[in-house]
Amino acid sequence: MTSSVPQGQTDVDDWFDIDKYRQAAGVAYDFSKKKLEDKGEETRKTIGYESEQKRRDEERDSKQAKQAYRY
């Protein structure tokens, strides 16, 4: 009988493969790291866009105020 249980172990539930655990942990880490990087990039884009909009709005408001002041 061939078994995937290491010598000296009697039950499959008594052990786990540390290499597979490390591999799975590495995959989970890489996934979460990439997800955070993507979220950070999206946040930077959003902040940049909102800042640009605010500058445009302020410039428009300033022009309107100057124009109204002249009359």
Tokens of 61: 């408001």
pLDDT in tens, 47-71: 999 999 999 999 999 999 988 876 6
Is 5 among the domain residues?
Answer: no
Domain of 43? 39-71
Tokens of 50: 């909102």
Q: Residue 35: what pLDDT?
A: 95
pLDDT in tens, 2-26: 556 667 666 655 566 788 899 999 9
Tokens of 14: 């008594």
**Helix/strand/coil for 17:** coil
* Count of structural domains, the chain: 1
Is 27 among the domain residues?
Answer: no
Q: Residue 8: what pLDDT?
A: 66
Is 26 among the domain residues?
Answer: no
Q: How far apart are CA 51 and CA 56, in angstroms?
A: 9
Is 15 among the domain residues?
Answer: no
At 1, the pLDDT band (50, 70, 90 cuts) reads: very low
DSSP one-letter code for 6? P
